Structure 1
């Protein structure tokens, strides 16, 4: 087995090289949609929206009917296969999501919906990895604890109202706690994060699973390093920014893997490293405007408002293809997981373009729209019409919160 630090350095350099060499124009795409075809697709979408609105007006929406309709929409309108839908809408996936939400609010009833969603996104990544590795899809105490660490620590470290000195003090004390040193807590953030580490220790003995705790230290170190992104006095190069981004994303998903399996092979480390790195790059692309406004330097935000992101989105696309090749090489029989990731990456790139059109040239937007089954103007208009789906989801998790409150009282 390759020494972990050596492997991570090699993988980081490889991703940086792939990024630098990635083309700045998209490949030729054969599939194009005529206006007539787009109108047909949009008509199907509107029927689905109409159903959602009707369900949202009911006091007790039909959950099974809603899931069935959602599954049919994905199948017949977005061309998802039966196998892909089985993974997305399986009882195990839904049950595990519910367990996470309930137990998260048991741990901290004051967690906001936004914080729950933030942690739940990591849990969905975990559920996908559990399926890939042939494990039961479930929310364990340690996985819940790890996923909750990063609404707390990430948001604390990204808060511009908190001084770097205060952040560094917390980081030092939290690093000691991750290494096994117990001490009294002096702040709310320490109380919550230290308690979450307790939950992980209850499930995994430090002596038997040292790599789990090393992976937690690795993600903490990467997060602490990301404080440099808030320092506008540092003139970080594109390579420096990219390496910070890569390590933050990669170490996060590596930790997911350790908490799922306990131990990882070099092959599993490579897959998880590249996967996490790419997810972080996609996240930075989507958040380019927000990061720019907050003074957070990333490969994307630092170009605004002086440069369009056409070329850098193309690089992001090719980097995703590189990761998918790694997945296909290391796990050639996992076609379902491969196809789901390929689709989700495409949707994220599309969302990044639609949500931040001011960051792209009109020519680039028009070219991309030619290959979309929907007109972009239609998607933007209908985004608000998807609020009933969000309302139904919020209504459901509000019921979970009431269940927790009732048991506590």
Structure 2
């Protein structure tokens, strides 16, 4: 049965997942395999070799040209690094290559450059992240992995709308005015934009309309309005500091995160079953929670209230982070029925990626946790927590914005995955 989506359904799904959250335990996670200090050191040395090889390869490369041999060599370095750490049997790169991610990435980068040649490379990478999420949803919904107009448009909306709304230098009143115009575009009112950023947002909405006519795909635009409503509510988080339970911060967080990926699902398929919509919403919730954990210090400094920033520097985040680990288990493992090997593989990739992102967030925010917790959870990380920060700094020092352009251009060359895609 297809879900007749509207904002009431978003509220209903929010409440369902809040019940799951409150019922989720907060004890230490049941991690399976400890990683001893020797193996952590080995992984770090492998990453350091990868960084040096990558830096060397970039220096060898001509500034204005990417040849196929360089691209193949770059991919080989990345695949070797991955297989040395996680093992060939757990490789993600070959899986994604076979599914067509390289073709989609190439198409997206080219189209993004045509759409806005001035877009910062970091914004392009941010948008690619959502492209890949939508690609994963295509696999989960038995759709062809492809760069559709809606995949492109919705992913590009992140740097144009989300970053604007998250910018602490822009007045809340200006953000509200932008949101009001954005809402009118989503309901089909052709009002004018007031600046170049809004021009781009309006153009992206029109791309979605081109793929999903309003009269045939009401659910798609109901979903877009739902995430827009959640975005408007999330501005409450930016207005002033609040104590836990003073405002419904957790409800706003769940609704925003869930509605975002639920909209991904509608923009992939056009319509969803109740079971599909249920999973998409939960997927979005835990991605939002991970995002908030990663940004906890910055949010606290800027007065943005999230589930984590509300208690940061007041109480340790130990139990709240435990709860997040268990919540992901519940949504992704216990409540997800999969009917193919590809979907199982993808679920495992998502699961491990989430764990790594949480470990990285813990490592950079160690002062927000008890020493005992850091010592205990670090035993299950591929890297020592102290190395995450060093690794990030080394990569930042090694890679300039131009280097990122080169890597991006190199990775989307068609010959990279010719063998796997043929």
Normalising to structure 1: TM-score of the pair? Answer: 0.89
Residue equivalent to 2:358:
349
- Per-residue deviation, 1:257: 1.1
2:203 to 192, 195, 211: 195
Deviates more, 1:255-264 or 1:11-20: 11-20
Alignment of 1:358 with 2:367, yes or no, is yes
Q: For the structure 1 residues 238 and 62, does the alpha-carbon distance in structure 2 shift closer, same or farther, using more than 3 Å as the test?
A: farther
User: Is the Cα–Cα contact under 8 Å of residues 67 and 89 in structure 1 kept in the other structure?
Assistant: no
Alignment of 1:250 with 2:258, yes or no, is yes
Alignment of 1:381 with 2:390, yes or no, is yes
User: Is the Cα–Cα contact under 8 Å of residues 238 and 299 in structure 1 kept in the other structure?
Assistant: no
1:190-243 deviation per Cα after TM superposition (whole angstroms, max 9, x unaligned)? 322111111111222111111111111111111011000012166662781111
- Per-residue deviation, 1:30: 4.9
**Counterpart Cα distance in 2 of 1:220 and 1:346:** 29
**Counterpart Cα distance in 2 of 1:371 and 1:157:** 36
**Counterpart Cα distance in 2 of 1:186 and 1:42:** 49
Normalising to structure 2: TM-score of the pair? Answer: 0.86
1:64 to 60, 64, 72: 72
Q: For the structure 1 residues 372 and 398, does the alpha-carbon distance in structure 2 shift closer, same or farther, using more than 3 Å as the test?
A: closer
Residue equivalent to 2:17:
15
1:281 to 289, 292, 297: 289
**Counterpart Cα distance in 2 of 1:94 and 1:84:** 13
- Per-residue deviation, 1:8: 3.2
Q: For the structure 1 residues 234 and 53, does the alpha-carbon distance in structure 2 shift closer, same or farther, using more than 3 Å as the test?
A: closer
- Per-residue deviation, 1:385: 3.6
**Counterpart Cα distance in 1 of 2:182 and 2:382:** 48
**Counterpart Cα distance in 1 of 2:346 and 2:98:** 14
2:175 to 167, 185, 198: 167
2:36 to 13, 34, 37: 34
Q: For the structure 1 residues 36 and 163, does the alpha-carbon distance in structure 2 shift closer, same or farther, using more than 3 Å as the test?
A: closer
List 4+ stretches of structure 1 deviating above 4 A: 233-236, 330-333, 387-392
Alignment of 1:124 with 2:135, yes or no, is no
Q: For the structure 1 residues 20 and 80, does the alpha-carbon distance in structure 2 shift closer, same or farther, using more than 3 Å as the test?
A: farther
**Counterpart Cα distance in 1 of 2:95 and 2:282:** 22
CA RMSD of aligned residues (A): 2.6
Residue equivalent to 2:416:
none
Deviates more, 1:219-228 or 1:69-78: 69-78
**Counterpart Cα distance in 1 of 2:96 and 2:394:** 22
Deviates more, 1:289-298 or 1:73-82: 73-82
User: Is the Cα–Cα contact under 8 Å of residues 229 and 298 in structure 1 kept in the other structure?
Assistant: yes
Residue equivalent to 2:66:
none
Q: For the structure 1 residues 156 and 50, does the alpha-carbon distance in structure 2 shift closer, same or farther, using more than 3 Å as the test?
A: closer
- Per-residue deviation, 1:381: 2.9
Residue equivalent to 1:269:
277
1:322 to 309, 326, 330: 330
Alignment of 1:204 with 2:212, yes or no, is yes
In the alignment of these two chains, the number of paired residues is 401
Which has the bigger relative contact order, CA under 8 A and spacing at least 6? 2
> Structure 1: any 5+ residue segments left out of the alignment?
401-409
- Per-residue deviation, 1:289: 0.6
- Per-residue deviation, 1:133: 2.3
> Structure 2: any 5+ residue segments left out of the alignment?
63-68, 412-422
